[in-house]
Amino acid sequence: MRRLFPSRAAPSSAPQWSLEEIAGEYAYPSPEELGDGGEEGAWLRGNMVASLDGAIHHGGRSRPLSSEADMWIFGVLRGLADVVVVGAETVRQEGYGPARAREAFADRRAASGQAPVPVIAVVTARLELDWSLPLFAEPVVPTLVVTGEGAPADRVEAARRAGAEVVFAGEGAVADPARVPGALAARGLRRQLTEGGPTLLGQFAAAGVLDELCLSLAPRITVGDAPRITRGAGLSVPEDFSLEGVLEEAGFLFTRYRRIRQ
């Protein structure tokens, strides 16, 4: 056992972290570590914020649980990713917009061979989305719609007409979560970030493809009946993760865990 907080140093002497330092802390595994690419070369990281009592939204949105530092890390994680994978319900509830190019990441992204912004990939079976949203109508890079081959053909057509690119990952009406990272990696999108919600994150975790979890713990209690960060059928055996890092600001803990591969 060891004490992480309070540390021996006076809080006022805590150094301010630069963007470069935060980006270094959250660096993805190198291309060498990821392997030769193709379907096996994906790294899927989840990023979620939860209250002390485990709620992942308040009034249907995650913003009331967040903080300035949390949003900063959120932005850094996006700045490092090739693709942001998100469930359709989060798009509908949070009015998701397209990723915005940020000057601070321009050189780093260009040097890594990345587009100016991460691609947003919306996972959906029903494809009942508002195609006039800026997410589909005005992205810097075309938004992806990830679904199963059995998805309704007219909805697939509507998505394409709106400018989205449709990625099939699975033969049924729904996408096979185990195949989603590979389908994206096959398009060169290997540094993957999922921003949830709990239904999608639960599916990735249950399928054994969630490599890393960045969990922000907000020093707030909400009560209510909001879900926790994952939902779905439980695993028969809980999966272990190792603690890779903890940052703190204003009582928020920014934790990073990596799945222990058996």
Ligand X SMILES: NC(=O)c1ccc[n+]([C@@H]2O[C@H](COP(=O)([O-])OP(=O)(O)OC[C@H]3O[C@@H](n4cnc5c(N)ncnc54)[C@H](OP(=O)(O)O)[C@@H]3O)[C@@H](O)[C@H]2O)c1
When the beta carbons of 11 and 59 are compared against ligand X, the nearer one is 59
CA 81, CA 191: separation in Å to the nearest integer? 5
- Name the 3-class secondary structure at 253: strand
Q: Which range of residues in 6-14, 197-205, 243-251, 252-260 is near ligand X by CB under 6 A?
A: 197-205
Q: Is 49 in the site for ligand X (CB under 6 A)?
A: yes
Is residue 194 a contact residue for ligand X (CB under 6 A)? Answer: no
Span interacting with ligand X, options 15-23, 59-67, 103-111, 245-253, rule CB under 6 A:
59-67
Q: Does residue 255 bind ligand X (CB under 6 A)?
A: no
- Does 143 participate in binding ligand X (rule CB under 6 A)? no
Closest distance of CB 174 from ligand X, Å: 3
Site membership for ligand X, residue 125 (CB under 6 A): yes
Which letter does DSSP use for residue 218 in this model? E
Which among 51, 47, 119 has a CA at the least distance from the CA of 81? 119
Which strands, in side-by-side order, build the sheet including 241-249? 165-168, 144-147, 119-123, 83-87, 191-194, 43-51, 212-218, 252-259, 241-249
Site string for ligand X, 147-186 (x = CB under 6 A): x--------------------------xx-x---------
Number of residues that bind ligand X (CB under 6 A): 30
Cα distance between residue 196 and residue 58, in whole Å: 15
**161 sits in which H/E element:** helix 153-161
For residue 229, the minimal CB distance to ligand X (Å) is 7
| Residue 68: other Cβ atoms inside 10 A | 9
DSSP 104-118: HHHHHHHHTT--SSP
Distance CA 34, CA 41 (A): 5
In the complex, the smallest distance separating the C-beta of residue 84 from ligand X, rounded to whole angstroms, is 11
Could you give the CA distance from residue 111 to residue 55 in angstroms, rounded to a whole number?
Answer: 38
DSSP label at residue 61: B
Contact call for residue 61 and ligand X (CB under 6 A): yes
DSSP label of 28: P
Among left, alpha and beta (phi > 0; psi -120 to 50; other), residue 106 is alpha
In Å, how far are 220, 228, 243 from 225, measured between CA atoms? Answer: 15, 9, 28
**Contact with ligand X (CB under 6 A) among 29, 75, 89, 141:** 89
Q: Is 87 in the site for ligand X (CB under 6 A)?
A: yes
Q: Does 217 engage in binding with ligand X (CB under 6 A)?
A: no
Stretch that binds ligand X, among 7-15, 90-98, 241-249, 250-258 (CB under 6 A): 90-98
Which stretch in 2-10, 54-62, 157-165, 253-261 sits in contact with ligand X by CB under 6 A? 54-62
In the list 70, 82, 195, 211, the residue contacting ligand X (rule: CB under 6 A) is: 195
Among 44, 48, 73, 77, the residue binding ligand X under the rule CB under 6 A is 48
Q: Using CB under 6 A, list all residues that contact ligand X.
A: 48-49, 56-57, 60-62, 65, 87-90, 93-94, 123-126, 128, 147, 174-175, 177, 195-200, 203
